[in-house]
Amino acid sequence: MNSYEQYMKEVSQPMRDELTEAGFSELTTPEDVEQFVTSMKEKTLVVVNSVCGCAAGLARPAAKASLNNAKKPEKLVTVFAGQDREATLKMREYFKGIEPSSPSMALMEDGKVLHFIPREEIEDHDVEEIVTNLTDAYNKYL
């Protein structure tokens, strides 16, 4: 690992921890993603994490806050765009017809996207709006 990769790993660790401490499992390799998605039976929230400000101030807090809803996904997973590139690319293969964006969130079941929130619905929105977007999807699909 070169010094840049080491630096980015150290910088991004708290951003990873924010989700894993809330119960999200990290998928860090394409194999992790494939194994998880192909065996997915439960409704799952997938967060495409990022180092950007809208991930820090909006996406991660909204994803965590949405879990206070009466209905919530049975599984929580995350991939980290820009850090675990291959895993993120693999996950995006399952987001059929959806342009790549990070951060983003997908509610999935049986390997298919039920609801997707792209960066455009995160950036310049309030945390509460994003939470409502997520919880409305939970209430509709769960």
Higher-scoring residue by pLDDT: 9, 137:
137
Q: Which of 8, 22, 51, 54 is flagged as catalytic?
A: 54
Decide if 89 is catalytic: no
Decide if 54 is catalytic: yes
pLDDT of residue 76: 98
Q: Is residue 115 part of a domain?
A: yes
| Per-residue pLDDT at 1 exceeds 80 | no
State pLDDT tens for residues 55-96.
Answer: 999 999 999 999 999 999 999 999 999 899 999 999 999 999
DSSP SS3 for 99: coil
Q: Is residue 72 part of a domain?
A: yes
Domain span holding position 112: 24-141
| Per-residue pLDDT at 2 exceeds 90 | no
| Per-residue pLDDT at 114 exceeds 90 | yes
Q: Is residue 44 part of a domain?
A: yes
Q: How many domains does the chain have?
A: 1
Q: Which of 45, 52, 62, 127 is flagged as catalytic?
A: 52
State pLDDT tens for residues 15-62.
Answer: 999 999 999 999 999 999 999 999 999 999 999 999 988 999 999 999
pLDDT of residue 7: 86
Q: Is residue 2 part of a domain?
A: no
* Burial of residue 53 (number of CB atoms within 10 Å: 0-12, 13-18, 19+): exposed
Average pLDDT over residues 94-100: 96
Give the tokens for residue 59: 């996406």
Rounded to an integer, what distance in angstroms lies between the CA atom of residue 76 and that of residue 107? 9
* Burial of residue 139 (number of CB atoms within 10 Å: 0-12, 13-18, 19+): exposed
pLDDT of residue 29: 98
How confident is residue 8, by pLDDT bands cut at 50, 70 and 90? confident
Rounded to an integer, what distance in angstroms lies between the CA atom of residue 66 and that of residue 70? 9
Q: Is residue 1 part of a domain?
A: no
Per DSSP bridges, beta strands 112-117 and 75-80 are unpaired
CATH number, domain containing residue 31: 3.40.30.10
Q: Is residue 118 part of a domain?
A: yes
Q: Is residue 16 part of a domain?
A: no
Strands (E) in the chain, as ranges, are 25-26, 44-49, 75-80, 104-109, 112-117
Amino acid at 18: E
